[in-house]
Structure 1
Amino acid sequence: MIHHPSISILFLGEDEDRSLAPFYSYLTSMPHIQLMMKPQLPQDLSSYDVVITLSTMISDDTSDHLTQYVCAGGSWLMFVSLSEHTLPQIFGVQQEPLGPAAELRVLFEDARHPMAARLPDAIYLKGYYHALSRTADNTETILYCDWQYSHKSVLTYRIEGEGSVACTSLQAYSDPALQRILYRLLVQLAGHRISGKSLGVGILGYAPSVGQAHGLGSEKTPGLSLRAICDLNPDRLHQAQKDFTGIKTYESADVFADNSEVDLVIVATSPNTHARLSLQMMSAGKHVVCEKPLALNRRETDALREMAAKQGVHLSCHQNRRWDPDYLAIRQSLTDGLIGDLFSMETFVGGFYHPCGYWHSHAPVSGGTSYDWGAHYLDWIVSLIPEPVEAVVGTRHKRVWKDVTNGDQERIQIRFSGGIEAEFIHSDIAAARKPKWFLLGTEGAIVGHWRDVTSHEIDPVLYYHSHEIPATEMVPDLTVFRRHHSGDIISIKPAVPDREHYQFHSNLADHLLVGEPIAAPLTDSVKVVAILEAAARSMEHGGSVEKVNDGSD
């Protein structure tokens, strides 16, 4: 797999401030970050790239020691506590009086700063207003907050001697955007330049919708640049040239793989070719993102992981549904403990429609019914239930649609370590649909009902045209049910975020260029394939219980 520069960080202090725990958890989720916590400052700091302290923990002796460390080439990051302690002179700032608790609108002083790439123009953070006043000419404001029609510094940076220092008075350490900014700050403090370069993207397989979506995602994401498209079908290549003027096109994967302008290949072909083509591209030294499912079986995923490790390249699966608003709302509801401990999860997709005539309905190419939507739903399941998979049972019905080789309905039941259960059903013979989501916890439940939406377009002759929006693309009607202390069951509507487009591509660029965590890790995609393969075996044996090696070892 791809290797990012190692960063060794020392946090000086006791593990007492729980508000910092989410940020430290975020840091330790990245294998190239080595985080050490110590209650006292060691004499020898030469093995650390950055030292992090709280302003309340600094004695004069500690300050002098760290100042010498910085002047000799080290870096020091200070989290300013809610107090009015005098900050060490080396930071080139001092605290202004502590203000009220508020939601702060925080922006980059320079919107073109490398640390600002692929981040919102403004982020909104809860905490106390606590401004920093610059006392040295070479102190750089990185972040400021709008406060009563003035810009107030809240994160600063300064070069001193051979090293550098930074400090921030922001306190929302659990906010994902601030976590990313602080991580990028640590990268800079450790002496690693945040790259402003772009990665050349090539798309292998240009299906009418998926190919164009990847092309647009690459073009609209800073740090990615669409360079080439390959497909066996000349008509599709002609369409690609219409969609992306001047794009280089290829009919041969061999020739495409030799394009030195392509750093990253998105494999968007049929599932039965995913492993072979991904191996070929990685063998050529390309990073690879493969459409879902990653492969058809564990033998293929093992080969893919071995090749990625051998070549030192990135490999992941296109799990763009990690940014669906309903999934994000459910994940946040679970994080907030709204239903207690999750112990049962059921998901459903389908209806009563004739399956399509494309390869999606032909099992030897698609992998089978569950390999399509199931690759997304199972990814949701394993992300919300991270425990190891113990056993899988699969059942299949073939009763109505005889002209296709996929099953008419497939059900996958999963048992996780600790007894948590999950189920996925894909049915093309369901005249009445089950809820999309049905989650049970020790203190409540979450139910997500499908929404059928029809849009109308005015026509001066025919009055109007109707267009049904696919229910799979509409955010379902989510409700959280909780048991009140009175014994009554109450219902609430969870906060559902707006849909943001091309977030997968943005996260991919953040990972490849900066080293931030990938939202859908490869281990989850391997686990999904292991479940699919075990379910297929179970279906062939009439619903046998299949033990699973889910790749989590």
Structure 2
Amino acid sequence: MPRIHLVSNLPGASALGDHLRGAGLGPTSARSADALLVLIDRPLDSGEQDVLDRARQSVPVLLAGPTLRSLPPDSPLVEASGLVPGRVTPVHELWLLPGPDGAEFTTRIGDFRPVDQWVVPDKLADDVEQLLMVRHELAVHPVCTWRPSTGLGMLTLGSGDRTLADPAYHRLIGRWLRHALGVRDAPPVRVGLLGTAESAAFHHMAVDVTEGLEMAAICDGASRPPGRAGDRAARRIVNPADLVGDPEIDLMIVATPTHTHTEWAMRALEADKHVVIEHPFCLSTREADDLIAAASERGLVLVVHPDQRDDLGYRALHDALRAGAVGDVLWLETFQGGFARPAGTWHDDARVSGGVVYDRGFAHLDWILDLLTEPVEWVSATAHKRVWHHVSNADHTRILLHFAGGAEAQITISDLAAAQMPRFHVVGTTGSVVSEIPAEPVVPGPRSGRHAERVLGASAGQLNLVAGNGSRTRLPLPPPPVTSVFHNQLADLLVSGWPMQHTVEVARRVVAVMEAATQSVATGGAPVTPV
């Protein structure tokens, strides 16, 4: 994989360097680099200029962020870029567009909307490739370019720490490197989907709109034609074993009832197929470790679909806590539920779903472990079975996590909560964040499965940041994702080699906590240390 040498004096560039290193792109020494990336907000010193002059003789060079406007107007780099810089815009939100030469460059870019400033070019040479554009004052201007004749590119985004820390920006850097070196994506990955009709429909829609993934075959027990009519009609397979053994399938999505995840995922790995498993992954750390080892031994991809990482409330809370909005987090609480009779599907059967902790707790635990990164010292959980005796899952469950630094987190999942609780409640050393409880009660009717919870989440109230003096500030919710972030990243991994943010090791940590919580329930709430 090609590697970048990074030259920067910006404090925020450390996050970019860490991400490039994790992606196998560098940073590396100037002598062994395949490309040079420069991110500075001052004129080049003599040593940096020497490195850049030598690098330009043999490798592509990308000037990013404030570099262009930090160069003197007569710099040979400005001339080599083919771009005459004009004025610098104020910081504002940018909506990015594919450039005339950027169709593959912008594939799976998603809805990245950086809040940044950029340089409006006064003039552009005819031989400059325009990869990424911004609409500004009734015109469309390039913010990312590449000039093959001089081996030099410009990316005028990346001035602030927020942009430099954004994984979407890191991916743009990687995409520019691949474009400059002439590296193209691998052919689309052919997908086989094994699951229930409900889960299959969700994944089918996501795969169908994701460049780099191609739905080849479906086994979901349904008799109707798969999906909508279109160019990518998938074959329907009746026997799951035939799907696993299909030589035309590269990747298998396992979205079956939870107690069968391990069996079908292992069979797919043994058939040399990459595997995506629907959350909650599996029912024990032993199963998780066996699957991870099997994938590693064969050099195959194994990932878990986290489902609610794109939840708007969670994303707003994540951004606020990362920005230090409440200081150090001491207490984090989440809630899901209402007073609702379970529908009686396999999700409500403890033998099949693993119980409430696994079936409905994964997303909450995934959120908490992402927000509170210290080791979990112990888990305590209790469950009550009092009302809904037509199903075996608990009616009301409470999970408490204690972290090494002293912070604690609690999850309440209830089908007996006639009065709604805040969906999120965070207590920090300088403030709190709390969800508003909707004025009108949420009446969902019988629960019909995991994906139905997305609808409940969307109506669970805005988030307010409460300061020590009692003042309240409503946190802005991010825009809904245009496409599935997970499936875009999955395609990036398989056809471009770019790592996913939500790895199987992250999911394994969640499984360890769920396993500990289940053991705690069995002992009446005694603390259990995850393994």
TM-score norm. by structure 2 comes to: 0.87
- Structure 2 CA distance for partners of 1:416 and 1:470, relative to 1, 3 Å: closer
TM-aligned CA deviation for residue 19 of structure 1: 4.2
TM-aligned CA deviation for residue 63 of structure 1: 4.8
Residue 203 in structure 1 maps to residue 185 in structure 2 = no
- Match of 2:215? 226
Q: What SS class does the counterpart of residue 418 from structure 2 fall into?
A: coil
> Within 5 A, what are the aligned runs for 1:31-110?
31-36=23-28, 45-54=30-39, 56=42, 58=44, 63=49, 66-72=52-58, 74-79=59-64, 80-85=67-72, 86-89=74-77, 91-103=80-92, 106-110=96-100
- Match of 2:500? 518
Separation in 2, partners of 1:363, 1:289 = 23
Q: 1:483-517 CA deviation, whole Å, 9 max, x = no partner?
A: 35xxx211111101232353322232223223334
TM-aligned CA deviation for residue 482 of structure 1: 3.0
- Structure 2 CA distance for partners of 1:331 and 1:47, relative to 1, 3 Å: same
TM-aligned CA deviation for residue 22 of structure 1: 4.1
TM-aligned CA deviation for residue 160 of structure 1: 4.8
- Match of 1:481? 465
Q: 2:301 aligns with which of 282, 303, 314?
A: 314
- Match of 2:107? 117
- Structure 2 CA distance for partners of 1:353 and 1:156, relative to 1, 3 Å: closer
TM-aligned CA deviation for residue 263 of structure 1: 1.6
Q: How many residue pairs were aligned?
A: 509
Q: What SS class does the counterpart of residue 88 from structure 2 fall into?
A: coil
Q: 1:281-320 CA deviation, whole Å, 9 max, x = no partner?
A: 1121211111111000000000011011112111111112
What percent identity do the matched residue pairs reach? 28
The amino acid across from 1:116 in the alignment is T
- Structure 2 CA distance for partners of 1:351 and 1:475, relative to 1, 3 Å: closer
Q: What SS class does the counterpart of residue 216 from structure 1 fall into?
A: helix
> Within 5 A, what are the aligned runs for 1:97-246?
97-103=86-92, 106-110=96-100, 113-119=103-109, 123=113, 125-131=115-121, 133-134=123-124, 138-160=127-149, 164-172=151-159, 174-175=162-163, 176=166, 177-189=168-180, 191=181, 193-195=183-185, 197-205=187-195, 207-231=196-220, 233=221, 236=222, 238-241=223-226, 246=233
> Within 5 A, what are the aligned runs for 1:343-492?
343-451=330-438, 452=440, 472-483=456-467, 488-492=469-473
Kept in 2, the 8 Å contact 1:347–1:436? The answer is: yes
Task: Please list every run of 5 or more consecutive structure 2 residues that lacks an aligned counterpart in the other structure.
Answer: 444-451
Q: What SS class does the counterpart of residue 332 from structure 1 fall into?
A: helix
- Structure 2 CA distance for partners of 1:123 and 1:424, relative to 1, 3 Å: closer
Kept in 1, the 8 Å contact 2:357–2:517? The answer is: no
Higher strand share: 1
Separation in 2, partners of 1:97, 1:25 = 32
Residue 294 in structure 1 maps to residue 281 in structure 2 = yes
The amino acid across from 1:35 in the alignment is P
TM-aligned CA deviation for residue 62 of structure 1: 5.7
- Structure 2 CA distance for partners of 1:171 and 1:351, relative to 1, 3 Å: closer
Separation in 2, partners of 1:542, 1:368 = 16
Separation in 2, partners of 1:469, 1:319 = 13
Q: What SS class does the counterpart of residue 35 from structure 1 fall into?
A: coil
TM-aligned CA deviation for residue 450 of structure 1: 4.5
Q: What SS class does the counterpart of residue 519 from structure 1 fall into?
A: coil
Q: 1:339-371 CA deviation, whole Å, 9 max, x = no partner?
A: 122221111112222222221122111111111
- Match of 1:499? 480
Kept in 2, the 8 Å contact 1:204–1:269? The answer is: yes
Q: Which stretch of structure 1 is more off in the superposition, 493-502 or 510-519?
A: 510-519
Kept in 1, the 8 Å contact 2:465–2:475? The answer is: no
Separation in 2, partners of 1:544, 1:121 = 45
Kept in 2, the 8 Å contact 1:114–1:196? The answer is: no
Residue 547 in structure 1 maps to residue 529 in structure 2 = yes
Q: 1:463-488 CA deviation, whole Å, 9 max, x = no partner?
A: xxxxx99862424222323335xxx2
TM-aligned CA deviation for residue 96 of structure 1: 2.4
The amino acid across from 2:4 in the alignment is I
Separation in 1, partners of 2:337, 2:139 = 54
Q: What SS class does the counterpart of residue 101 from structure 1 fall into?
A: coil
TM-aligned CA deviation for residue 69 of structure 1: 3.7
Separation in 2, partners of 1:52, 1:105 = 24
- Match of 1:325? 312
Q: 1:270 aligns with which of 241, 247, 257?
A: 257
Separation in 2, partners of 1:292, 1:66 = 47
Q: 1:84-127 CA deviation, whole Å, 9 max, x = no partner?
A: 51333583425424434253554332275211102258955421
Kept in 2, the 8 Å contact 1:507–1:518? The answer is: yes
TM-aligned CA deviation for residue 159 of structure 1: 2.6
RMSD: 2.9
Q: Which has the larger radius of gyration?
A: 1
Separation in 1, partners of 2:179, 2:286 = 40
Q: What SS class does the counterpart of residue 440 from structure 1 fall into?
A: strand
Q: Which stretch of structure 1 is more off in the superposition, 348-357 or 524-533?
A: 348-357
Kept in 2, the 8 Å contact 1:296–1:529? The answer is: yes
Residue 20 in structure 1 maps to residue 13 in structure 2 = yes
The amino acid across from 1:24 in the alignment is G
- Match of 2:449? none
- Structure 2 CA distance for partners of 1:111 and 1:201, relative to 1, 3 Å: farther
Task: Please list every run of 5 or more consecutive structure 1 residues that lacks an aligned counterpart in the other structure.
Answer: 37-41, 456-467
The amino acid across from 1:159 in the alignment is P
TM-aligned CA deviation for residue 242 of structure 1: 6.6
Residue 259 in structure 1 maps to residue 246 in structure 2 = yes
Q: 1:209-234 CA deviation, whole Å, 9 max, x = no partner?
A: 22111111111112211110124x3x
Separation in 1, partners of 2:390, 2:46 = 80
- Structure 2 CA distance for partners of 1:244 and 1:139, relative to 1, 3 Å: closer
Kept in 1, the 8 Å contact 2:17–2:26? The answer is: no
The amino acid across from 2:212 in the alignment is G
Kept in 2, the 8 Å contact 1:271–1:367? The answer is: yes
Kept in 2, the 8 Å contact 1:444–1:480? The answer is: no
TM-aligned CA deviation for residue 11 of structure 1: 1.8
TM-aligned CA deviation for residue 376 of structure 1: 1.1
Residue 532 in structure 1 maps to residue 521 in structure 2 = no
TM-aligned CA deviation for residue 167 of structure 1: 2.4
Q: 1:10 aligns with which of 5, 20, 27?
A: 5
The amino acid across from 1:199 in the alignment is V
